[in-house]
């Protein structure tokens, strides 16, 4: 019955409403799992020891709202080992001095606020989850970049097209919605944009291949793959086993650079 009602809701309700409901339920489930697995108590201990300012990584020194850090698996974030695979890409992006940065699925604002701190760009941060938008605004305020971080709830093809003006960096982590968002219709409008897209493979489509095909005429595609190992020696021994995020081995990102560059 629940499966039936879910199907009916997805047909009758607007896409953004369905996405918001799914996002809230997913975040609630993640928090429950962290507590059940014992990671919540580890996070509490680490925050008591180290505080809520990032100790390493591309955004070292960024201040986190305490509750934002404790509401997720924040140990890799705090030590700077979160998404290690993207660190080089982030440094490349900072060096390019983009005028605009668009973060779709910004969550609490790790990239949105982090990149605002390290660049002069105007940042547009989108997330369906209302609590995450609250944390993102709070983190922007804590880091004195609130005037350049614009937090919004929803991004679709029309909004993306109207926002991606000039040379932009687009970061996407939107739980499978990338298949719909980066459609054949919108891709030509992004020919001057760099993109970092987290790939969420489904059961019916090869998402990486599909997106690579769509961008084939406008972008060079670099594939980055998650590996759980590889944390640095600067992380204390007691925390190394917690220092990578929880995700499937082989999770991929696409880094797309305009062919015209």
Q: What is the pLDDT of residues 76-117, one digit of tens each?
A: 999 999 999 999 999 999 999 999 999 999 999 999 999 999
CA-nearest of 16, 26, 18, 123 to 71 is: 26
Alpha carbons 174 and 155: distance in angstroms, whole number: 10
Task: Reply yes or no on whether the pLDDT at 186 is more than 50.
Answer: yes
CA distances from 157 to 100, 184, 188, 196, 239 (A): 17, 10, 12, 17, 41
Q: List, in order of start, the domains of the chain with CATH numbers.
A: 2-258 (3.40.50.150)
Q: Are 133 and 127 within 8 A, CB to CB? A: yes
Q: Are 118 and 112 within 8 A, CB to CB? A: no
Alpha carbons 197 and 122: distance in angstroms, whole number: 19
Question: Would you state the pLDDT for residue 5?
Answer: 42
- What does the mean pLDDT of the chain come to? 88
| Lowest-pLDDT range of 77-81, 93-97, 212-216, 247-251 | 247-251
Task: Reply yes or no on whether the pLDDT at 207 is more than 70.
Answer: yes
Highest average pLDDT, of 13-17, 144-148, 163-167, 204-208, comes from 144-148
Classify residue 257 by its DSSP letter.
Answer: E
Question: Would you state the pLDDT for residue 241?
Answer: 85
113: alpha, beta or left, given left = phi > 0 and alpha = psi -120 to 50? alpha
What confidence category does residue 236 fall into, taking pLDDT thresholds of 50, 70 and 90?
confident
Q: Are 148 and 43 within 8 A, CB to CB? A: no
CA distances from 133 to 3, 74, 224 (A): 29, 17, 27
Which SS3 state, helix, strand or coil, does residue 165 take? coil
Question: Would you state the pLDDT for residue 35?
Answer: 67
Question: Would you state the pLDDT for residue 42?
Answer: 85
What confidence category does residue 232 fall into, taking pLDDT thresholds of 50, 70 and 90?
confident
What confidence category does residue 10 fall into, taking pLDDT thresholds of 50, 70 and 90?
very low
Question: Would you state the pLDDT for residue 127?
Answer: 95
Question: Would you state the pLDDT for residue 23?
Answer: 59
Taking the chain, what is the end-to-end CA distance rounded to the nearest angstrom?
Answer: 53
Q: Are 176 and 199 within 8 A, CB to CB? A: no
CA 190 to chain CA centroid, nearest Å: 19
pLDDT digit string, tens, across residues 168-185: 999 999 988 999 999 999
Q: How much is the average pLDDT of 33-60?
A: 86
| Lowest-pLDDT range of 11-20, 199-208, 235-244 | 11-20
pTM flag (> 0.75): yes
């Amino acid at each position: 019955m629940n499966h039936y009602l879910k199907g009916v809701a997805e047909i009758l309700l607007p896409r953004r409403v369905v996405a918001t409901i799914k996002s809230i339920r997913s975040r609630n489930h993640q928090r429950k799992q962290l507590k059940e697995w014992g990671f919540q108590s580890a996070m509490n201990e680490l925050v008591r020891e180290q505080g809520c300012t990032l100790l390493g990584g591309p955004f070292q020194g960024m201040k986190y709202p305490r509750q934002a850090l404790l509401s997720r698996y924040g140990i890799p974030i705090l030590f700077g080992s979160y998404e290690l695979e993207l660190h080089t890409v982030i440094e490349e992006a900072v060096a390019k001095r983009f005028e605009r940065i668009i973060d779709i699925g910004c969550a609490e604002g790790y990239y949105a606020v982090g990149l605002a701190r390290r660049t002069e760009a105007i940042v547009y941060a989108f997330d369906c989850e209302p609590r995450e938008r609250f944390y993102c605004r709070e983190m922007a305020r804590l880091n004195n970049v609130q005037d350049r971080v614009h937090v919004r709830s929803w991004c679709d093809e029309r909004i993306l097209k109207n926002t991606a003006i000039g040379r932009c960096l687009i970061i996407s982590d939107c739980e499978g919605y990338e298949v719909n968002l980066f459609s054949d219709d919108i891709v030509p409008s992004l020919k001057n944009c760099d993109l970092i897209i987290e790939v969420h493979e489904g059961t019916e489509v090869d998402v990486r291949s599909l997106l690579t095909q769509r961008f084939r005429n406008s972008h060079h595609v670099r594939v980055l793959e998650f590996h759980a190992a590889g944390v640095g020696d600067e992380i204390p021994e007691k925390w190394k086993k917690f220092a990578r995020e929880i995700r499937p081995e082989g999770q991929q990102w696409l880094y797309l650079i305009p062919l015209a560059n």
